[in-house]
Each structure stands twice: as C-alpha cells, then as structure tokens.
Structure 1
C-alpha cells in the first residue's frame, strides 16, 4: 500500500478514452527538461552538417534535416512548458499540443531526407523524396481534423510513415549506415511502449523523450558519418 501511495506522488491515474493524461508536477518538469536540453545540440548538429556540405544540395539537405530536429525538441519543450503553466493559456496549450503532434510527421520526413537526397535512387524510389512530405501533410490534416479522437489511428499513422520509406532506403545499392538507421528505428519502437504508458509507469512520457533523443542521436551519427563525413574524406583523398 505504501508503494502505491509513493507512486501516486509522481504519477496520476490513467486517462479515460479520448481524454488526455494530466501529468504530475514532477512529470511536467521531466517532460520539459528532457527535450529542452537538446535544442542547442540540435542547432550545433545542423551547423556541423552545413559546414561539411560540399555543394548547395547538401547544404539544403542539412538545413531541412537540422530544422526538423530543432523543431521537434523546440515545439515539444514549448508545449510542455505551456501545459505545465496552463492556468491562463488553455487555447494556446491546445494549439501547441496539435503543433507537437504535427511536428512529429515533419520530423520523420526530415529524418529520411538526407538518405533520399544524398544517395543514388532508382526512378521509382526517387518519388519517395516528395512522397514523405506528402505523408507529413496528410498527417497534419488528420491532426487538425481529428486531434485526440482516435489515438490508436494516430499512432498507426506515425508508425506507417516511419517504416514505409524504409522500404526504399533499404533497397539502395550503397547500404552503408543502414544498420544504424534500423537500430535507431528499433529504439523509437521501444520508446512507443512508454509513449502509451502514461498513468501506468511513472515519468513514462519523459522516458519516451529519452528514447526519442537516443534514436535521433543514432540517426544523426549515421548521417554525419556516411553521408557527410565520408564524402569529405573522399574529397581529401582525391587531393
């Protein structure tokens, strides 16, 4: 009984159907800090890829990927801060909650962009470069029309968008970095367990944030090593 009471200090009861979970103050703080600390590293990461770029196309790709990474952590942090201090900002909280959901779609598209832009693709696979953004736009429309109504459907959309472009990426002739890409995707999937465990596991959403950060770091490492750093080393060898 004492153990249950101690857990209740850090975790509220599970939310009902079509209702949003209300974190405790401890969980609110953890939700904010776990992504706030990653905003500056995301800026630095984007700047590094931009500096390693050899041409305009690589610089644009670095900017798109970097902005997706920054937006994910920045919007998430702002939403959780507003949600924590929401007494006079309910309409803004609702707006940023939708933005928090929308930015996930664009982050997924941005994460695939370096692989789709900087690796050689077949004529059919090349269409995935714009199709991932079409899927992100479709996800945005879904959020603005059915926000918080069908949570499992929304989760299915995220997973579909996360896995569908991988079919193209894994078919590339150059497979360097695909193990890291797959491992990062696996970490994201593990994190989904905590994403759906609010009210069951204390600090579940903050733990989900940690899994997102870890998976994003794995993907960033693969992009830096195999798409940007490797091309720079090849240029040095040619000289």
Structure 2
C-alpha cells in the first residue's frame, strides 16, 4: 500500500483525484463561456443571471477540488479542503438556479431559489466555523438539497421536456450513488476517485440538460 498523505489518500489516489477534477475545471470554464453566450442570445428572463450562478458554481467547485488534491502544504490543503466542501453546496444550489428561475419561475421558483441558497449558506457556514464536525449532517444536507425537487416533482415534470426531466433525474442519481463512495472513503482505496467520477457524470448529464433544454436561444 502506498504511503498515506493528507487525510487518507495515497499519492496515486491524490494524483487521480487532481487529474479528474483538473480536467473538469478546465472544461467548466469553457462551459461557463458557452452558457453566457447562450444566455445573451436568449430572450428568457433571468437567463444571464442563472448562467452566471450555475456556470460559476461549476468552475469554483472543480477548481477548489483540484487545488485541494494537488497541494501538499498542510495549511493550504486544509483551506482548500474547506473550500472544496463549500463548493459542493454552491454547485447544488447553482445547478438548481436555472431550473427554478427559468423553467419554473414565479413565486414558486423564487421561493425554492431562496430555500436552496439559504441551505447552501447554512452548509457553507457549517463547514467554515465547524470544520471537521457534523459531517453526517452536512452529507445529509447535500442529499436533501439535491433531491428537493421531489416536493414539486409533478410541476417540474410538466414544465420540462421528458428527456430533460430524465437527464435531471439521472444526474441526481449519479451524485447520490457517488455519495456512497464518499462515505466509505476511509475504508476503500480509490473510493474518492470513484466519487469524483460519479460527480463528473452527474455534472455532464445536467450540463447537457441545460444547453439542450433550459437555455433556449
């Protein structure tokens, strides 16, 4: 077994973790540009606002994660570990933003937008001020935020084209299955790498949904 560095990762694991999210971070920058261009060309209300929130959340999460897994300096690694976890809350709320403001809209959309970003703020404060504590609570909050759509599932299903709905659901399932590997990170070698792959898959599925069905030009 390779020597453990950081919390529980071998050098080989950290290299794999850094490469996967490093590639995705670079791709996310391109994705943000695509979203902005589509939003500018769209006549949909809140398109640019949603594109900036969603695209920026992608770039931030994957950048934070890449630096966390790349750095070896203890203090820097600890800081980016916190930012990495905060980035998950940003990504969940960011991904929902276009669906809530463009697809749903109105009082319902804005209410759930406020709830999502309110929970994201709570989660971020939890990670910053109670670092290393309440991990079970924060993981449960990730899952709850990710599946908050079930409270309005019939409405979402009626407003989204069927392929878009299933892309949304498939992305959610990918993230959720990945959480299993996130939880067993300490007990299974390369579990964190597998978690990354599921997160990346969920991101790709949701991005396809966004460009094909949400940001209409």
TM over 0.5: yes
Shift of residue 166 of structure 1? 4.4
- Distance (Å, rounded) in 2 between the aligned partners of 1:169 and 1:114: 16
Q: 1:42 and 2:28 equivalent?
A: yes
Shift of residue 227 of structure 1? 1.0
Q: Which residue of 1 aligns with 2:133?
A: 149
Q: Which residue of 2 aligns with 1:167?
A: 151
Residues 130-209 of structure 1 mapped to structure 2, 5 A cutoff:
130-168=114-152, 170-172=154-156, 173-176=158-161, 177-209=164-196
- Distance (Å, rounded) in 1 between the aligned partners of 2:109 and 2:52: 22
Q: Which runs of 5+ in 2 are unaligned?
A: none
Shift of residue 165 of structure 1? 4.0
What TM-score do you get using the length of structure 2 for normalisation? 0.89
Q: 1:75 and 2:64 equivalent?
A: yes
Deviates more, 1:69-78 or 1:140-149: 140-149
- Distance (Å, rounded) in 2 between the aligned partners of 1:133 and 1:76: 21
Shift of residue 157 of structure 1? 1.3
Residues 104-115 of structure 1 mapped to structure 2, 5 A cutoff:
104-115=88-99
Q: Is the 8 A contact 1:78 1:96 kept in 2?
A: yes
- Distance (Å, rounded) in 1 between the aligned partners of 2:35 and 2:79: 32
Q: Is the 8 A contact 2:179 2:195 kept in 1?
A: yes
Deviations 1:171-227 (A, max 9, x none): 233132111111110111111111122243221101111110010000000111111
Shift of residue 72 of structure 1? 0.9
Q: Is the 8 A contact 1:125 1:168 kept in 2?
A: no
Larger Rg: 1
- Distance (Å, rounded) in 1 between the aligned partners of 2:31 and 2:7: 33
- Distance (Å, rounded) in 1 between the aligned partners of 2:185 and 2:104: 42
Q: Is the 8 A contact 1:132 1:165 kept in 2?
A: no
Report the count of equivalent residues. 210
Q: Which residue of 2 aligns with 1:235?
A: none
- Distance (Å, rounded) in 2 between the aligned partners of 1:125 and 1:117: 5
Q: Which runs of 5+ in 1 are unaligned?
A: 1-7, 13-19, 233-239
Deviations 1:64-117 (A, max 9, x none): 1110011111000011112xx22xxx2222221111111111110000001011
- Distance (Å, rounded) in 1 between the aligned partners of 2:175 and 2:182: 10
Q: Which has the higher helix share?
A: 2
